[in-house]
Structure formats: structure tokens, C-alpha cells
């Protein structure tokens, strides 16, 4: 039986990837950010997931205005790191898990969610920076990854409620996969940040901290927060946080928070990172 054993959320700021790739992680500005992931790196070495179901958003890298799937599941065997303007990050090829990905696609689509099936895709910082934060700089990523891209770039984004329910459908899909796999689900992006317009630089620490508490304690209620509240209170890119609700929906209500980290700022973003172990 495949099992979702844990959930991880983390910001995916591209400058974090550049700090790793350029050897700057011990510099004064960056050290406090990376210190927040020391527990996580040890934790994941012990957990040894076989597959990560990695919920992230593409930033007009592989998907742009020509094609805007609300939810896209990567079913390929390999996903190369994208060239985001300075060349592809020097990180390993992302290896997919086609068997589980196709199973999730058929289960979730038959469970009334419309997914776009993607068989060829470059993956940008939304996916590679969380892998680097959790695994450091290995020669090969130590597990398989199913990229699951959510549109939070082109209006309209999916609602928090829909994301939360989708997480539950993903859970049902993984639970019904006939294969002995230790699966983690990750939600990336956030926390509060706005990269554009007159409010560029917006960060809202009280709102973020309340979000972290509610994600753990009352996700059913948190899922009802409308998209306008994210944009108003957490900034135009704060809407990335709806992806954390997909992760949360896939876990049990009483999943245990084993790590929480919050740091302001990294680049333009309030960095948030939590780890939940699922109850069985
Ligand atoms: C930044 C954060 C993001 O989530 C992103 O996709 C791009 C940039 C930033 O803080 O600079
Ligand atoms: Fe982003």
C-alpha cells in the first residue's frame, strides 16, 4: 500500500537557490534562513520518502499565457531544471514516478477534479528550491518527484476550498495505489509577499503567523478564506499559499506539527516552513 506519511511546506524564493548555488549560505544575510532547515535536513534523511508529491507553481517558465492549466500533474519519467534567464540551476535532473502519477491522475479526475496531464515539462525555482532546501546539494535527488503545478499567476487562481478538497482527493488516490511506497506531499510558495506594483515589498507577519496556527488547528475554516483576502492581506504573490492547503487536505486532521520556522525577509518574501507527520 502507498501511504502519505508526512507533509512539508516551504517558501521557494529563487534567491535562496542562487545563494545555495553560489556558496553564500553562511553569509550573515542568509545564515538565519538556512539554519531554519537544519532540523528538516536531518528529519528527511531519517524519513527516506520514496516519492514526493510536490505541489508548486510554475512562474511563466514552462507554462505561460498560451496555456494556463489550473492544475497540472507531471506524469513523465524526467523533468529537467528550467532556464530562468541565467541558465538552468546546477541541480540534478528531477526523476518522476509515472506509475503513481498516472494512478493519481485517473483517480482524481474520476473523483471530479479536472487535471491537465503533462508529459514534458521544465521545472523552475518553485520546485527546485524546496528540493535544495530539504536535501542540500546531492549528486542525484534521493527520491522520485511528481510535479503538481497550480496556477496562481494568471487570474483566476483556484479557491482555497477547492485546493483543500483536492488534497483530500489526492490522499484517496495515493491510499488506493497498489505499491509499497512512502509518499510525502509538499506545498510550496508564500508566505506573504508582493513583487509588483505600488505595494511591492508588502509583508504581513501577524497574518502569516495566524495562517500557520490555523493550518495546523482549523484547516477546514482556513480553507474558506477567499482569494481576495490573500491578495489584500498577504500580497499579490501571497496567493501562493493556497497550495499549502492541498498539502494539508491530504493529511489527517490531527497530523502532528514537528517543525515550524518563520523568518523575515528572504529577498522580498516572508519565509515560512512547516513539517507535519501524518497520523496512521
Ligand atoms: C520571490 C519570491 C517568489 O515566490 C518568487 O516566485 C519570485 C521571487 C522573491 O522574494 O524575490
Ligand atoms: Fe513564487
What domains, with CATH codes, occur in the chain? 3-277 (3.40.830.10)
- Decide: pTM greater than 0.95: yes
Q: Single out the catalytic residue among 12, 125, 227, 273.
A: 125
Backbone phi and psi for residue 16, each to the nearest 5 degrees, phi listed first: -65, -40
Q: Single out the catalytic residue among 59, 193, 259, 263.
A: 193
Does residue 193 have a pLDDT over 80? yes
Q: How far is the CA of 98 from the centre of ligand 1 (A)?
A: 29
Does residue 123 have a pLDDT over 90? yes
For ligand 1, is residue 18 a contact (CB within 6 Å)?
no
* Sign of the CA dihedral running 267, 167, 39, 81: negative
Does residue 272 have a pLDDT over 80? yes
Does residue 237 have a pLDDT over 90? yes
DSSP-derived secondary structure for 67-130: ---SEEEE-SSEEPBPB-SS-B-S-PPEE--HHHHHHHHHHHHHTT---EEESS--B-HHHHHH
To test the ligand 1 pocket, which listed residue (13, 187, 272) has its Cβ within 8 A of the most ligand atoms? 13
131-148 pLDDT, tens digit each: 999 999 999 999 999 999
Does residue 280 have a pLDDT over 80? no
Tell the residue nearest (CA) to atom 2 of ligand 1.
13
> Would you call 25 exposed, middle or buried from its count of C-beta atoms within 10 A (0-12, 13-18, 19+)?
middle
Q: What is the pLDDT of residue 82?
A: 98
Tell the residue nearest (CA) to atom 6 of ligand 1.
13
Instruction: Report the pLDDT averaged over residues 231-237.
Output: 98
Pairing between β-strand 116-118 and β-strand 51-56 as defined by DSSP bridges: unpaired
Cis peptide before 52, with omega less than 30 degrees from 0?
A: no
Task: Name the helix (H) or strand (E) containing 51.
Answer: strand 51-56
Instruction: Report the pLDDT averaged over residues 99-126.
Output: 98
Q: Which three cell numbers stand for residue 109?
A: 479526475
Active-site residue 125, yes or no? yes
> Would you call 7 exposed, middle or buried from its count of C-beta atoms within 10 A (0-12, 13-18, 19+)?
buried
Please, are residues 88 and 80 in contact by the beta-carbon 8 Å criterion?
A: yes
Closest CA to 242 of 34, 4, 57, 19: 57
For ligand 1, is residue 264 a contact (CB within 6 Å)?
no
Tell the residue nearest (CA) to atom 9 of ligand 1.
268
Tell the residue nearest (CA) to atom 10 of ligand 1.
268
Q: Which three cell numbers stand for residue 275?
A: 513539517
Amino acid at each position: 500500500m502507498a501511504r502519505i506519511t508526512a507533509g512539508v511546506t516551504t517558501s521557494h524564493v529563487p534567491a535562496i537557490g542562487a545563494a545555495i548555488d553560489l556558496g553564500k549560505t553562511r553569509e550573515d544575510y542568509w545564515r538565519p534562513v538556512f539554519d531554519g532547515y537544519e532540523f528538516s535536513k536531518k528529519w528527511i534523511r531519517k524519513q527516506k520518502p520514496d516519492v514526493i508529491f510536490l505541489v508548486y507553481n510554475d512562474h511563466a517558465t514552462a507554462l505561460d499565457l498560451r496555456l494556463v492549466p489550473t492544475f497540472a500533474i507531471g506524469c513523465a519519467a524526467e523533468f529537467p531544471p528550467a532556464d530562468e534567464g541565467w541558465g538552468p540551476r546546477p541541480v540534478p535532473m528531477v526523476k518522476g514516478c509515472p506509475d503513481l502519477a498516472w494512478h493519481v491522475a485517473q483517480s482524481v479526475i474520476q473523483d471530479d477534479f479536472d487535471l491537465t496531464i503533462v508529459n514534458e515539462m521544465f521545472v523552475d525555482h518553485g520546485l527546485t528550491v524546496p528540493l535544495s532546501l530539504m536535501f542540500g546539494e546531492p549528486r542525484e535527488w534521493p527520491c522520485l518527484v511528481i510535479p503538481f503545478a497550480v496556477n496562481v499567476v494568471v487570474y483566476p487562481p483556484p479557491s482555497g476550498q477547492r485546493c483543500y478538497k483536492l488534497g483530500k482527493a489526492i490522499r484517496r488516490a495515493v491510499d488506493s495505489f497498489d505499491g509499497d511506497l512512502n509518499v510525502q506531499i509538499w506545498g510550496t510558495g508564500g508566505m506573504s509577499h508582493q513583487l509588483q506594483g505600488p505595494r511591492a515589498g508588502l509583508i504581513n507577519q501577524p497574518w502569516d503567523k495566524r495562517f500557520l496556527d490555523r493550518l495546523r488547528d482549523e484547516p477546514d475554516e482556513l480553507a474558506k478564506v477567499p482569494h481576495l483576502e490573500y491578495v489584500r492581506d498577504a500580497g499579490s504573490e501571497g496567493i501562493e499559499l493556497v497550495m499549502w492547503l492541498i498539502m494539508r487536505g491530504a493529511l489527517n486532521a490531527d497530523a502532528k506539527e514537528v517543525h515550524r520556522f518563520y523568518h523575515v525577509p528572504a529577498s522580498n518574501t516572508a519565509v515560512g516552513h512547516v513539517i507535519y507527520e501524518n497520523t496512521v
